Amino acid sequence: MSIKKRNKLIGFALVSLLSIGLFSGCTSNSQTNEEKQDSKTITVIGSTSVTPVAQELAKAFEAKNENIRIDVQGVGSTAGVKAVYEGIGQIGMASRNLKSGEKEWNLNETIIAYDGIAVIAHPSNEVSNLKKDQINKIFKGEITNWKELGGVDKEIILISREAGSGTRGAFEELNGLLKKNENGKKISVVKEDALIAEGNGAVKANVASKENSIGYISLSYLDDSVKGLKVDEITASSENIMNGSYKISRPFLMLTNGEVSDDTKAYLEFILSKEGQEIVKKKLIPVN
């Protein structure tokens, strides 16, 4: 065979291989695009307190519905309420009751659980119980030293949440830490120099690292890294919230705006189903 003929055959073979590769690549991309089109995403956005249970519920729901993805984003209750109203997400999460202005948006409210707000201190703190009026005075700055509460002679370090937090809003409402200004709007009376931490996890980390601090978190975040304080001799627990003896509690809401898709409706129905409420029950108080 001549060199010229051999080179021609080699060239033809290379072109054939490249064509096969390109065709295969196009087929693969086409399949990927079809898979993407078949996959649907439901965006659930809002309260960082609701986020952990929403993620667990999403995982269980996705296992049963492989073509649906639940994207859970913890950004705070106020942001979540606004996001669902503006159509940024299909579902908003709130760890508090809606404010009067938010009620005017006529959002659909679904209570998926009830949660307690635990008052926490460093594990080494000698104080184990606070009266509700003491909590009020601590966060207003009227009680400033642990010795006034039977503890060590150390200044109390206040850890609070960011503005817009559902946990903060509920905590302040339940502990008399809101007052109306001249325009009739409720404003916080928490001491201005309180350290602000964004999210339950950040509050817990701050209290765990500061011996003389006090803060508050969703009951679902409570663990051995911090000390849960009794309130009026009542422990923050699911049982005590269910029987009504622990008073610092609030609802967890899933919010929608107008008509919802069948997929969104299916996710909400799953949350309220027996299986969904069993997941809720692991750390919160189920509604069913």
pLDDT at 39: 62
pLDDT in tens, 191-208: 999 999 999 999 999 999
Q: If pLDDT is split at 50, 70 and 90, which confidence band does 31 have?
A: very low
With a cut of 70, say whether residue 9 has pLDDT above it. no
- The secondary structure of 16-54, three-state, reads HHHHHHHHHHHHHHHHHHHHHHHCEEEEEEECCCCHHHH
- The secondary structure of 143-170, three-state, reads CCEHHHHCCCCCECEEEEECCCCHHHHH
Count, residues in the chain: 288
CA 258 vs CA 90, 105, 109, 236: distances in Å: 10, 10, 11, 36
With a cut of 60, say whether residue 213 has pLDDT above it. yes
Cα(123)–Cα(120) distance, integer angstroms: 9
Q: Class for domain 40-114+251-286, per CATH?
A: alpha beta
Q: Once rounded to an integer, what is the mean pLDDT over residues 182-193? A: 90
Q: What pTM was computed for the model?
A: 0.71
Segments making up each domain of the chain, as ranges: 40-114+251-286, 116-249
How is residue 121 written in tokens? 């201190």
Residue 35 burial (10 A CB sphere; 0-12, 13-18, 19+): exposed
pLDDT in tens, 91-135: 999 999 999 899 999 999 999 999 899 999 999 999 999 999 999
The CATH fold assigned to 116-249 is D-Maltodextrin-Binding Protein; domain 2 (3.40.190)
* Residues sharing a CB contact under 8 Å with residue 4, sequence separation 6 or more, in sequence order: none
3-state secondary structure of 86: coil
Which residue do the tokens 């850890």 mark? 159
pLDDT in tens, 11-30: 444 334 334 343 343 333 33
With a cut of 90, say whether residue 32 has pLDDT above it. no
Q: Are both 40-114+251-286 and 116-249 of the same fold?
A: yes
pLDDT at 36: 37
